[in-house]
Amino acid sequence: MKFSQSLKSNRDFENVYGRRKSCANRYLVMYVSENGTDINRLGISVSKKIGNSVVRHKVKRLIKESYRLHEDIFNSGLDIVVVARAGARDAKYADIESALLHVSKLHKSVLRSSDSDFKK
């Protein structure tokens, strides 16, 4: 994540959740709020409902890699929290990548204007 940092503190996650701007699909829920800086901060939440620690970490790695490869199409200055749903347990990389791009398109302020017609 060359342009981004991680959200780590509970307070940061709560601030993003408090904005109540979310979009969801079968695998992921994405919460977004502006952070007032020129960098993005990404937080990933994978519940114990998904599975044991090996499965949770795998889902987290897939989300992080999907974001990293498409980081340049996101606007800067955002706090983004991605929450994995139970369907993500058995998802392959292509499913997670597609879900992340789909949820990003649902949020109008997340993608850069030149990339808003990005098709995958």
CATH number of the domain encompassing residue 90: 3.30.230.10
Q: Which residues span the domain enclosing 31?
A: 4-110
119 inside domain: no
pTM above 0.75, yes or no: yes
27 inside domain: yes
Two tokens at 72? 């340049």
Q: Provide the residue-wise pLDDT of the chain in tens; the chain has 120 residues.
A: 567 899 999 999 999 999 888 999 999 999 999 988 889 999 999 999 999 999 999 999 999 999 999 998 888 899 999 999 999 999 999 999 999 999 999 987 788 775 544 544
pLDDT of residue 4: 83
Report the Cα 100 to chain-centroid distance in Å.
6
79 inside domain: yes
76 inside domain: yes
* Nearest CA among 44, 99, 108, 28 for reference residue 70: 99
Q: Print burial letters for 13-41: b (CB count within 10 Å at least 16), e (below 16).
A: bebbbeeebbbeeebbbbbbbebeeeebb
25 inside domain: yes
Number of domain units in the chain: 1
